[in-house]
Amino acid sequence: MKTIRDMDRIILASASPRRRELLKQMGLEFEVMPSHVEETITRKIPWEIVMELSSQKARDLVYKAAMDSISEVKNEDGDGSNILVIGADTIVAYQNEILGKPKDKADAVRMIKLLEGKQHSVYTGVSMVYLKEGIAQTRTFVEETKVYVAHMTDEQIDRYVDTGESMDKAGAYAIQGLFAEFIIKIDGDYNNVVGLPVGRIMRECIFS
């Protein structure tokens, strides 16, 4: 059986600095090869959407790896190298409304007004594709974390949005940043809200 620490090469199919940092915390060496696949959404339920998108990203990088002959690299035993591609996608959902990255400040304010004083869910879909000598095995899962946000005044919302922190974040906030002031509690994996449930990845990355 092969675990993530047995891989000769790990490829993260994401340019997210937060996902990079989370993988680094696990003591893993990896490469960043962002997927540029055109995302196609055919699902409507939040957890199904992240499953679909993470799979698209991982498959895109597996194809590129094969085309670039990455799978021909040999390990110390002379066998074909063990390559793991990790694709991930995170969304914020409130009552099944998907909250992506805000278009502008007004959109960020709208999103936070939806979330303040309420509970919402953060879903991350993860697809791990293990490639060995041209044969691929896949593990895919979805992690959900429930986030409870305190009541916020209009002044607090405007002040937070003015910091600029919300502009490149799904749901218009960063739990690991200034928005932590307004988090009452979470149910589930904190790292999942940041962008990557690394604990579950470490546990479930087992291939034959």
Instruction: Give the residue numbers annotated as catalytic, written as ranges.
Output: 89
Contact status, residue 16 vs residue 2, Cβ threshold 8 Å: no
Other beta carbons within 10 angstroms of residue 54's beta carbon come to 26
Distance CA 9, CA 16 (A): 19
Distance CA 171, CA 164 (A): 13
User: What are the angstrom distances between the C-alpha of 98 and each of 45, 167, 170?
Assistant: 9, 16, 9
Taking the CA atoms of 4, 6, 11 and 16 in sequence, report the sign of the dihedral they define: positive
Structure tokens given for 47? 């957890």
**Of residues 88, 30, 81, 83, the one with CA closest to residue 58:** 88
What backbone phi and psi angles, to 5 degrees, belong to 69? 65, 25
